[in-house]
Amino acid sequence: MLGAAGIFIPEFLTKIGVLNTPFWYTAGEQQYFTDTTTLFIIELILIGWAEGRRWADIIKPGSVNTDPIFPSNKLTGTDVGYSSFLLHDPSI
């Protein structure tokens, strides 16, 4: 559903003059700040880090509930393998 919203909302806002975005079917033709291989590597690293932390929580529940940068920030009472973010909650 978020994918459909990501297609229809920018297209609608472009048609009424609020945004100037390309259509979803031509967005891949746009020039980005780097080549696709670099974008793939960056995505692989960032998503790999997030999924690695999720996997570590599945293997040893509660092991990643402490923020790696700010150790005083801790989450309690979360489901194993899921963050506490509202849109990431599988029960919704």
Model pLDDT for residues 11-36, shown as the tens digit of each residue: 999 999 998 888 878 877 878 889 98
Report the range of poorest mean pLDDT among 15-24, 36-45, 66-75: 66-75
> Which carries the bigger pLDDT value, residue 42 or residue 7?
42
What pLDDT is attached to residue 91?
60
Domain ranges of the chain: 1-30, 31-84
3-state secondary structure of 21: coil
Q: How far apart are CA 82 and CA 55, in angstroms?
A: 10
Phi, psi of 4 (to 5 degrees): -65, -40
The answer to whether 89 and 82 have CB atoms below 8 angstroms apart is yes
Q: Say if pTM beats, i.e. exceeds, 0.85.
A: no
Rg (Cα) of the chain, in Å, rounded?
Answer: 18
> What pLDDT does residue 3 have?
82
